[in-house]
């Protein structure tokens, strides 16, 4: 739930670094120019407030191009069997903005949904290189995604503003890659207008989406602008452009920056919500890195970490807050080994943690156990790796080491489906509502068991 604008504002100083000092809206390499000797207006006179905003913010704006694999049904080609399907690449383009010098980018979730590959480029005047990006966090409900790119740091980051003090009618600037076509067109486009309204609702039935609390502007927001920044005349980020109304003219919408910051802190930068891995521990609220709890049988517990330990380093770099730790770990993937430096009392020690599958976190929440893939009876199967105390799985008799040979849905007596990975099992459970029943086929030694588990 959205915690309020006041909380989001309080997070701004601690969440991110600022690329430029307050009050300076010029790009680092911009220089005031003089008019020529013929008396023609020089850059000094032509550099309006909007121009200065663009110079300051453009180096932080990116063009995003995603590649997705889609299936298409072929019915009309004479040389291709009628009714067959074939896979082909599909591309989608959008915009984004760097919000942290380490290379973290905010964009819309719909820009990167289903992407097999994400490519990011800055305006060609600022950086001609192509960067491969990783989606480290997504929030479909709020249409936000967090990407990470690697490269020489620091990256130029936008200055963060606030959205609770906006003035209806004040000038706003939208930057993105409107109507961009391919990576050769990675040049920023700019539009300006006024802030038309705040706290607007938008319903898009065709997309199955509804938005609340949006900023409305008449600054042109066209296809390709999605995910780009909406800025005030100080060059500060006040919103993320997210939608246009196809039946309207001159109306665009943006997610207020206060909500963006809240979602980043509460969701996208939360290690316990990572869709890439499972760490298996939670931290106390606040700026510290004290471990509040450790999940039994999870990656952190297997590495010897206990509640009350304090994380002081990750991968050879010191950390002083959970946000810094999140920034270091979020790009990692399940199966990777990370070195965490911890302090317990007066002693410091290093824990070697193998990151678990994010699917196992979901399985522990709904079923009450974590699993690991193995080969059994010549086929892929799952072994119960850990049990949540007093969970549904434990109550029906699951034991650590049991083999899960198959699952099914009642009332069918047969038709058990083999599951070979935690992701396979998690995907199946996502289609079962709370309090739904899962039939299981377990093997323990030479004995086999059939039973039913009521899911959370």
User: Helices (DSSP H) in 271-314: which residue ranges?
Assistant: 299-302
358-366 vs 422-430: helix crossing angle, rounded to 10: 50
Establish whether 186 is a catalytic residue: no
Catalytic residue among 63, 100, 110, 163: 110
What string of DSSP letters covers 171-206? EEEEEE-TT--SGGG---EEEEEEEEEEEEEEEEGG
Find out whether 438 and 367 touch, Cβ atoms under 8 Å. yes
Per DSSP, the three-state class of 301 is helix
Tell me how many degrees the CA angle 56-241-27 measures, rounded to the nearest 5.
Answer: 5
Catalytic residue among 191, 226, 274, 357: 226
Contacts with 173 (C-beta within 8 Å, 6 or more apart), sequence order? 50, 53, 54, 57, 190, 191, 192, 219, 230, 231, 232, 233
Between CA 184 and CA 127 the distance in angstroms is 13
Find out whether 88 and 72 touch, Cβ atoms under 8 Å. yes
Helix, strand, coil percentages in the chain from 3-state DSSP, rounded to 5: 20, 40, 40
Between CA 418 and CA 415 the distance in angstroms is 10
Establish whether 110 is a catalytic residue: yes
Secondary structure string (H, E, C) spanning 231-281: ECCCCEEEEEEEEECCCCCCCEEEEEHHHHHHHHHHHHCCHHHCCCCECCE
Establish whether 63 is a catalytic residue: no
| Strand-pair category, 347-354 with 337-344 | antiparallel
Instruction: Identify how many contiguous H helices and E strands the chain contains and give both numbers.
Output: 10, 24
Tell me how many degrees the CA angle 36-39-45 measures, rounded to the nearest 5.
Answer: 75
Catalytic residue among 123, 143, 258, 424: 143
Tell me which residues are annotated as active site.
110, 143, 226
């Amino acid at each position: 739930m959205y915690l309020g604008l006041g909380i989001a504002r309080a997070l701004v100083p601690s969440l991110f670094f600022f690329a430029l000092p307050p009050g300076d809206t010029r790009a680092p390499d911009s220089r005031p120019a003089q008019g020529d000797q013929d008396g023609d207006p020089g850059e000094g006179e032509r550099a309006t407030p909007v121009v200065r905003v663009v110079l300051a913010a453009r180096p932080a704006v990116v063009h995003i191009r995603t590649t997705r694999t889609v299936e298409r049904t072929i019915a009309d080609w004479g040389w291709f069997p009628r009714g067959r399907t074939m896979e082909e690449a599909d591309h989608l383009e959008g915009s984004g903005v760097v919000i942290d010098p380490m290379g973290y980018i905010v964009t819309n979730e719909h820009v990167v949904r289903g992407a097999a590959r994400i490519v990011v480029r800055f305006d060609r005047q600022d950086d001609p290189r192509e960067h491969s990006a990783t989606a480290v966090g997504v929030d479909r409900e709020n249409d936000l995604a967090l990407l990470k790119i690697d490269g020489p740091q620091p990256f130029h980051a936008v200055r963060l503003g606030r959205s609770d003090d906006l003035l209806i009618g004040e000038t706003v600037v939208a930057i993105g890659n409107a109507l961009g076509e391919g990576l050769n067109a990675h040049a920023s486009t700019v539009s300006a207008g006024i802030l038309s309204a705040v706290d607007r609702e938008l319903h898009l039935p065709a997309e199955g989406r509804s938005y609340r609390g949006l900023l409305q502007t008449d600054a042109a927001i066209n296809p390709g602008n999605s995910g780009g920044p909406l800025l005030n005349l100080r060059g500060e980020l006040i919103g993320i452009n997210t939608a246009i109304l196809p039946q309207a003219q001159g109306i665009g919408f943006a997610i207020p920056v206060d909500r963006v910051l809240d979602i980043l802190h509460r969701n996208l930068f939360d290690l316990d919500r990572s869709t890439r891995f499972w760490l298996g521990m939670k931290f106390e609220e606040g700026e510290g890195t004290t471990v509040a709890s450790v999940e039994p049988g999870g990656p952190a517990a297997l590495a010897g970490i206990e509640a009350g330990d304090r994380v002081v380093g990750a991968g050879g770099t010191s950390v002083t807050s959970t946000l810094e730790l999140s920034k270091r770990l979020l790009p990692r993937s399940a199966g990777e080994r990370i070195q965490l430096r911890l302090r317990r009392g007066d002693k410091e020690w290093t824990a070697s943690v193998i990151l678990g599958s994010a699917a196992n976190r979901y399985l522990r929440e709904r079923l009450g156990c974590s699993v690991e893939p193995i080969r059994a009876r010549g086929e892929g199967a799952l072994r119960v790796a850990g049990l949540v105390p007093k969970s549904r799985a434990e109550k029906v008799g699951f034991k650590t080491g049991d083999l899960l040979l198959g699952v099914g849905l009642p009332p069918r007596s047969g038709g058990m489906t083999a599951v070979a990975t935690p992701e396979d099992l998690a995907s199946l459970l996502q289609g079962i509502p709370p309090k739904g029943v899962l039939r299981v086929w377990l093997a323990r030694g030479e004995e086999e068991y059939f039973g039913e588990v009521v899911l959370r």
